Structures are given as C-alpha cells and as structure tokens.
Structure 1
Amino acid sequence: MSKQLPVKKNDYIEALFEDLTHDGNGVMKIDGYPIFVPNALPGEKGKVKIIKTNKKYGFGRLISLVEESPHRQEPPCPIYHDCGGCQIQHMNYEGQLKAKENNVRNVMKRIGKLENVVIHPTLGMDEPWRYRNKSQVPVGLQNGELVAGFYAKRSHEIVDMPYCIIQDKRNDEVVSLVKELCKQHGILPYDEEKHRGVLRHVMVRSAFQTDEIMVVFITKTAELPNKKKIIEAIRTNIPGVKSIVQNVNAKRTNVIFGDETKLLWGEEVIYDSIGQVKFAISARSFYQVNPEQTKVLYDKALDYAQLTGNETVIDAYCGIGTISLFLAQKAKKVYGVEIVPQAIEDAKRNAELNGFRNVEFAVGASEDVIPKWYEEGVQADVLVVDPPRKGCDENLLNTILQMKPKKVVYVSCNPATLARDLHVLEEGGYQTIEVQPVDMFPQTMHVECVAQLFLKEGN
C-alpha cells in the first residue's frame, strides 16, 4: 500500500523555508516531504498553497510571508517576475553569496561524501550588475509587434526587454537599435511554430578591455533584407563596432546557431584580454561572459596548480585555450585538448597572438587523446579539467587515476557533478584539499568552483 503524502493539492500550510534549490526555489519540508516554492528565501516563514504533488516532492505558491529574511530585497528589474533570465534578484548580494557557498557545502557532503574539505566563502563582485559581455536574445512577434528579450520562466514566450541590468549597457543599445531597424525595414521575426520569417536571434559581444563590439544576426534565410542600410545604421550609431556577422540557421530546431557564418562588414573577430592574456573572439567562440570574475576564477586555478616553471600541464576541455594560456604563463609545457575543431583553431590562434611557444593543442575527446599522449611519454605533473555541466567523462576520470598526476585542478560550473567526480577521484587515491566557489553569474543560482586535489602518498 502506497504511503500517504503529508499534503495534498489545494491544501494551505504554514512552515519555515530551509533552503534554496539550484533554480532558486525556496524549500520547505512537511514531515520530511520537500515542497518547492518560487520567490521564497531560507529562514522565512510563509503561508503556501499546494499546487502539485508527486511521490517524492511537491510544488507550492507563496500566498504571504509571516517572517521575512533579512536578505530579502525588492528586485531592481521591472520584468524580473516575468523573465526567466535571473532567479534570485529578490535576495540581496550578501545573501546570494552565502546561499551559493551553502549550496556547494551541501552537495560536497551529500553527493561527494566529503566531510573535511575546506569550502571557502564565495568570491563575489564589487558591482554585481552589468557584468555580461554577451547578449543573445530570441526575436519574435507579439500582437503584430516585433519583440526581443529572454524567455519567460518555463516557457518559450518572449518577454520583451527594453534593457537588462545584468547585460553590458552597450549590448542593450545594440539590441534596441536592431529592433528599430527591423521594424523600419520590414524584417520579419522568425515564427518557430510556422517555421517562417527571417530573424531568429540577435547576438552582441562587447569586449571589456578593448571596447570592441560584434553584432551577429542569426537568420532562417540566406539573405538579410536591406542589409546595406542596416549595416550603415549600426556603424553610424554604435561607436566601437568592429564586426557585423550573419549566421544562417534554416533548420527547425531550438539550437541557436546554424552551420553557415558569413562576415557582412568589418573583421571576423574582436579582441579582448583577461589579465595579461589576449583573445581573438569569433561569432561562434566560447568565451566566458563575465570577464572580471573569469580572471578571479583563473587566478585561483593558477594558484592551486602551484607552478614553478618546470611542470608539464594537461588542460582537458580546453575550449579556445583560455585556461591553457593562463597556465602557460607559469608552466614549462601545456597540452590542451578539446572536442570542438573550431575551438582548437581559436586556441592555436590565441597562442600565436600571445607569442606562447610552450603550448600544444589537439582536437578530440579528452578520454581518447590523453591516453595517447601518455603512451607517447607525456607525463603530466598537473592535470586541469573544466568540463561541461554534466561533469567529466567516466573514461577521463579512469585515465586520471591511471596517469596519477601529482595535482588535479578541477574547474566546475556545476557543484553537483563536481562533488560526484571528486568522490570518484578520492576513491582512486586523491585528496581534495579545498574548494573555492566563485560568483560568475550574480542574480542567478549558478556558481563556479575551483577544487584542488593532491595525490596521496603511496598511490
């Protein structure tokens, strides 16, 4: 006989919120049964209406607060409650940093089974607004009007966005101008249901150190109507624009980019730098969206690597070479591997741009390439990983355990998969010394981490 749930749909309950989920919902528990409630903060007591239940957890709607958190604030963004871009603007920044530290601490214990690892307070920003250097907004039609903005929470409905206070101001200006130009020149937005129209997305990249700007039109059609007039208007109105690009995506898909990218005007890349390292950034390049905190993150990775100038380092998941080139400043030799061929082309170009001769890049899966290097006699003193959200491939973890580098530096964008992978490495003879959370995405629940591991004596 199935166990009776402590609550049912349409019940009204009052309880204390204990925690936040990874997507910013408050968590209250009734007889151990978790209920997820948007817009609630830990330490608050609230009245909630149960709107949905299943075997393991339920969902509620906040009716009123009986006790408020000292970290609660009025969200500064006028469309915060409609837009799905941020999750925790209703929490002040001090509270956000603490919540992210708690999140990391909890998963290290629950998933990683790591009780004695030092978890440092989250490294935050002096100014946690206007930090994003890349704006990538879908375009659509609502009530006969062209709109562009982020998707509403849990939907594909576009919330029209006059500005976004986590984006660089110049990105807002470009998106606003492009909307006006499309209206003037009759450029139809893409309709994903009917698979008709022209403009699917607008992407803007702003370089924080050089002030260079790239504008990318992502279209369903091969032609961008009235492109000469549009290019001229952008060049006239946007100081610093160095590159105007079109990407064609004719497929019926939610993937943003198509295979064909063509230069409409200017240069194919813009340049930016993080610390002393310069980067060429193309329309398709992966480049961290918060350059100020990227430097904080990479400085910590470099610190954890403890390089003296005599070490060989392998950078798995190297992307366009951002971490590799940071490491190359202090290492004897750095090997970088990445599965995306375009990223490796960018990495090689960036190494050349900075005059680094001690870096070597290869295309392929880390779990295939690194064992080959090992067979060829490459012995890493330090191995750095910066995997996607799903964490390290199981075969790569096995390769690390076979190669036994003295130090592993793990850069992660997902504390849960980081904790899982650290547990595997601990079982294989490594000790996690410390974990440093870094706030790359203020106003959201995302948190990046850097973990330092040493190979235990006798392994």
Structure 2
Amino acid sequence: MPNFLNQIHEIKIDSQEHFKGNGVGRIEDFVVFVNGAVEGDVVNAKITESKKTYGNAQITKIVKPSPHRIVPECEVYRKCGGCSFLQIDYDFQLETKEKFLKEALQKIGKFDLKNLSIEKIVCAEEPLFYRNKIIQPVGLEDGKLISGFYKQNSHKIVDFDKCYIQPEISNKIVNLVKSWASKSKTPIYNEEKKSGVLRSIFLRINREQTEVVVCLVTKGKKLPFWKTLLQELTDNFPQVVGLVQNFNSTDGNNVLSENFNTLWGRDYIFENLGKTKFKVSIGSFFQVNSAQTVLLYNLVKEFCNLSGTEKLLDVYCGLGSIGIYLADKAEEVVGVEVSSQAIKDADFNADLNELENCDFYCGKVEEVLPQLLEQEKHFEVVIVDPPRKGLSTETIEVISDFNPEKIIYVSCNPTTLARDLRLFTEKGFSIKKITPVDLFPQTHHCEAVCLLEK
C-alpha cells in the first residue's frame, strides 16, 4: 500500500469528479483528487491525505495549464469552497456537467446511453452574480471580523468582500453588516468555545433586486444594537424590506434553526417567475437561481404537456412553486411538503395567484402519500423535486401505485437520479427524455429534468 503523504508529484489531470468537482489524476495506479485542478492541467501537487487506493492533494504549481483553465477575477477562488468550477471556462463547465449526468446514468443506473434521449444542457445567460440566497458564516481572525464561505473540507472561513456568484447589492449589504458588527463590538460566535452571539449573515433577494430580507443568525435571543444596524441598512439600501433574527443555540453543523423573529418589516420577499408571483419566506426552500428557475419550470411544463383535465401531484412541493406555476393548465394540483412554513407560503401563493384548484398537505412524504393512496386519489401526472438524497424506495413504491401516466423527476443530484430512475423502470415506467439544466454556474452541481411515462 503506497503512502504518498506530504509528497509532491507531477500529475496530469484526466477528468473532473462530480462529488466535489476536483480534478482527477494518477500516480501509477494510485488515484489522486486534486483540489482546483482542471481536466488537461499538468500540476505539481502535494498529497494531503493518503488512503489505500486514493489520495487528496493541493496544487503547489501549475506546470502546464489546461486549455479550459481561465483566471477568475475572484481573489480567493483557490481557497474558497464556494465555487469549484470558477477557474473553468463556461462552455467546458457545461460539457463536464453533461458528462457527469451521463456517467451517473451509465454507472449507477446501469442504462445503455444509446437507448436514452439526453438533450443538450440548458445554459445560463448570466453565469455570474445569480444567487438569490446567501448565507455567510462570520468569525474572528487575528482579532478582525471575517465573513465568507468555508474552505473545502473544513470549517475555516475564507474571508472576502466580493463574491462573484451573488449580486453586488448582496455583497454591499454583507459588508455593511460586518462593519456594524465591528463598530458595535457585537460578540462573534466561536465554534470551538461555543460562545459569542453573531453566527452568520443570511440574505434573500428577488430577481429584480428590489426586495431584500436581512437575517442575522445568533447563538441566543439577545442581539444588542440591532436598531443601529436597521438605521444603517434603511439609510443605504431602500431595497431592504425586513430585518429578521434566527436563534440557533445548537452546537452542531445546522446553519439555521426553525426559530425566526421579525425585528422590523417583513420576513419574506415577493418573487416573479414569468406571470406567476410568489411569496418566499426567509426560511422556505426556493431555487437559488431565479432566472434559471423560469427555464427549469418551463421545461417541466413542456414535459407535462397538460390539457387542463389532469390532476397533478407535486411531491416535495416547497412553497408550491412548480405546482402553482402549472396550475392554470391543470384541473387540480395537490402538493406535499414537510415544512409548515413552506405550506403556509404555498396556501398564500395559491390565493395570491387567484387559484382555487390547489391543495397542500403538510407532513412527511413517506406518510402523506400512503394516506392519499388510501383515499383512492388518482393523479395523471406526478412531479417530484426531492433533496439531494433522492427518493426512498417506499416513496417510489407509492408513486408507482398511483399508476400515473407521467412522472416528471426534477433532480439536483445525478447519482440519486440515476438510482431512482432504475427503480422506476423496474416498476414499468420508461424514460422518454432527460434534460440537464445549469442551475448552479461556477459549481460542479447539476440539475436535470426527466420525463417518465407508462
């Protein structure tokens, strides 16, 4: 068993891996995952972790850059864990994500790619400054307040003043909050000592950048001098519609708790997707790229091809966004979601769009779907948009028992998508087409929409 720990080797990068976006090379038969490397690079890399068959490494020198490598404007891209693909030209990012999807379908799902219709990835018109949700942890370094994203595989904050995947107004607001926290001497949370007050800065912003909710995540309920911050925010940013506090007293890795308190204004923004308007509460799930979400939902609409007579089941519906977006073309929409706040938003959003054919159920998908089945509910179309872990086998079983004509699977993880598609095909469904969507430019993450029919 080779032990290359702390050794520096020249490595040719043959590919990218889809779990973290690292470059992949070899020292003879020993696989090395090189942080920040790009397919086609030749690098000198120091082995920072050495296992039996693989290791992790950091670049010490780029011997020969890949033709796909670019130099980003971001000064901390080599340290920050937020953007794994920022150093890769955008066309090759898209090509790589298409490859990730195909590899997962082939290796995990055991599908013959020749028998699948995989369409070209839907690219982003604006691959920078797109995030509508920002959460930046704060900390102290040499007595100075810092805020940014974590370094890959660590809880070490990489400080920055400008992030290239979030809007400029978000960067400015975060910097104002940092300045306020320093001036007011607000105690900064120390993860090791489990002490302090301010843990993270959390923003939600709409696509038009006309509404922003600012949320401060704190260890306890006390937040001194917040009225001073409010004055500074409203003086400088008329777009700020609310200041919220989230109490997170846990010592674990959960960034947020369910405990929100509105200090001023409102705890939600309004977001427009096409002709549909949504209330998005600070704690509800909503896709982070509003512009690409419109393209994603239009693709779902195209795959559904509704005539107006169909009953539609929206599984993991969140604040009802997909179902409500399609509701004017359906006879009935039923949504299921575990978050009570999201369900409140979904009910509100149905009324906001003057829809009377939407019903939303709050509860675990694994518990609510069997209840709907027992009530002999029937759905011609089922849409699923699960978290990265995908669907449980029980959920796949129940969805299949509804015997829908179509299933539209919206996935943010090619690996679990491929696994679940295999299980659906074993239930008698066939894959008609799959379209990847670049919802997360500058990162290795890939969204995809799949149409299954029976």
Shorter-chain TM-score above 0.5 = yes
Aligned pair count reads 451
**CA contact under 8 A between 1:76 and 1:89: conserved in structure 2?**
no
Give the match for residue 267 of structure 2.
268
In the TM superposition, residue 30 of structure 1 has moved relative to its aligned partner by 5.5
Tell me: CA distance 1:100–1:347, structure 2 relative to 1, closer, same or farther (3 Å): same
Give the match for residue 190 of structure 2.
191
Give the match for residue 34 of structure 2.
37
The one-letter code of the counterpart of 2:52 is K
Give the match for residue 412 of structure 2.
413
Alpha-carbon distance in 2 for matches of 1:378, 1:418: 26
Alpha-carbon distance in 2 for matches of 1:45, 1:145: 37
Give the match for residue 317 of structure 2.
318
Q: Where in structure 2 are the equivalents of 1:427-442 lying within 5 Å? A: 427-442=426-441
Q: Where in structure 2 are the equivalents of 1:383-398 lying within 5 Å? A: 383-398=382-397
Give the match for residue 402 of structure 1.
401
SS of 1:162's partner is coil
Tell me: CA distance 1:373–1:259, structure 2 relative to 1, closer, same or farther (3 Å): closer
Alpha-carbon distance in 1 for matches of 2:99, 2:39: 11
Alpha-carbon distance in 2 for matches of 1:308, 1:44: 51
Q: Indicate yes or no: 2:334 matched with 1:335.
A: yes
Give the match for residue 176 of structure 2.
177
Q: Indicate yes or no: 2:96 matched with 1:99.
A: yes
Deviations 1:44-67 (A, max 9, x none): 444555454323323344455555
Deviations 1:228-251 (A, max 9, x none): 222111111112111111122223
Alpha-carbon distance in 2 for matches of 1:209, 1:190: 33
Q: Indicate yes or no: 2:293 matched with 1:294.
A: yes
Tell me: CA distance 1:325–1:8, structure 2 relative to 1, closer, same or farther (3 Å): same
Give the match for residue 357 of structure 1.
356
Give the match for residue 14 of structure 2.
17
Q: Normalising to structure 2: TM-score of the pair?
A: 0.94
**CA contact under 8 A between 1:278 and 1:353: conserved in structure 2?**
yes
Bigger mean CA deviation after superposition, 260-269 or 379-388? 260-269
Alpha-carbon distance in 2 for matches of 1:365, 1:376: 17
Give the match for residue 240 of structure 1.
239
**CA contact under 8 A between 2:132 and 2:205: conserved in structure 1?**
yes
Alpha-carbon distance in 1 for matches of 2:65, 2:380: 51
Give the match for residue 123 of structure 2.
124
In the TM superposition, residue 450 of structure 1 has moved relative to its aligned partner by 0.4
Alpha-carbon distance in 1 for matches of 2:50, 2:195: 39
Alpha-carbon distance in 2 for matches of 1:225, 1:434: 55
Tell me: CA distance 1:353–1:37, structure 2 relative to 1, closer, same or farther (3 Å): same
Alpha-carbon distance in 2 for matches of 1:246, 1:204: 11
In the TM superposition, residue 13 of structure 1 has moved relative to its aligned partner by 5.0
Give the match for residue 256 of structure 1.
255
Alpha-carbon distance in 1 for matches of 2:264, 2:46: 55
SS of 2:435's partner is strand
Alpha-carbon distance in 2 for matches of 1:56, 1:370: 43
Give the match for residue 156 of structure 1.
155
Give the match for residue 215 of structure 1.
214
Alpha-carbon distance in 2 for matches of 1:292, 1:418: 23
The one-letter code of the counterpart of 1:87 is S
Alpha-carbon distance in 1 for matches of 2:214, 2:441: 25
SS of 2:15's partner is strand
Give the match for residue 70 of structure 2.
73
Tell me: CA distance 1:202–1:62, structure 2 relative to 1, closer, same or farther (3 Å): closer
Alpha-carbon distance in 1 for matches of 2:11, 2:417: 35
Aligned mate of 1:87, from 84, 87, 97: 84
**CA contact under 8 A between 1:49 and 1:63: conserved in structure 2?**
yes
Q: Indicate yes or no: 2:29 matched with 1:28.
A: no
**CA contact under 8 A between 1:20 and 1:99: conserved in structure 2?**
no
The one-letter code of the counterpart of 1:53 is S
Alpha-carbon distance in 1 for matches of 2:239, 2:126: 24
Alpha-carbon distance in 1 for matches of 2:178, 2:48: 38
In the TM superposition, residue 31 of structure 1 has moved relative to its aligned partner by 5.9
SS of 2:329's partner is coil
Alpha-carbon distance in 2 for matches of 1:230, 1:71: 44
Q: What's the % identity of the aligned pairs?
A: 38
Alpha-carbon distance in 1 for matches of 2:63, 2:77: 23
Deviations 1:257-297 (A, max 9, x none): 23432111112322111111111122211121110011111
Q: Normalising to structure 1: TM-score of the pair?
A: 0.93
Alpha-carbon distance in 1 for matches of 2:11, 2:193: 46
The one-letter code of the counterpart of 2:34 is V
The one-letter code of the counterpart of 2:241 is K
Alpha-carbon distance in 2 for matches of 1:210, 1:51: 42
The one-letter code of the counterpart of 1:444 is T
Unpaired stretches in structure 2, ≥5 consecutive residues: none
Tell me: CA distance 1:53–1:254, structure 2 relative to 1, closer, same or farther (3 Å): closer
Alpha-carbon distance in 1 for matches of 2:138, 2:372: 45
In the TM superposition, residue 145 of structure 1 has moved relative to its aligned partner by 1.3
Alpha-carbon distance in 2 for matches of 1:152, 1:52: 16
**CA contact under 8 A between 1:47 and 1:64: conserved in structure 2?**
yes
Alpha-carbon distance in 1 for matches of 2:342, 2:110: 35
Unpaired stretches in structure 1, ≥5 consecutive residues: none
SS of 1:292's partner is helix
Tell me: CA distance 1:260–1:61, structure 2 relative to 1, closer, same or farther (3 Å): closer
Tell me: CA distance 1:61–1:284, structure 2 relative to 1, closer, same or farther (3 Å): closer
Give the match for residue 451 of structure 1.
450
In the TM superposition, residue 136 of structure 1 has moved relative to its aligned partner by 0.9
Q: Indicate yes or no: 2:199 matched with 1:200.
A: yes
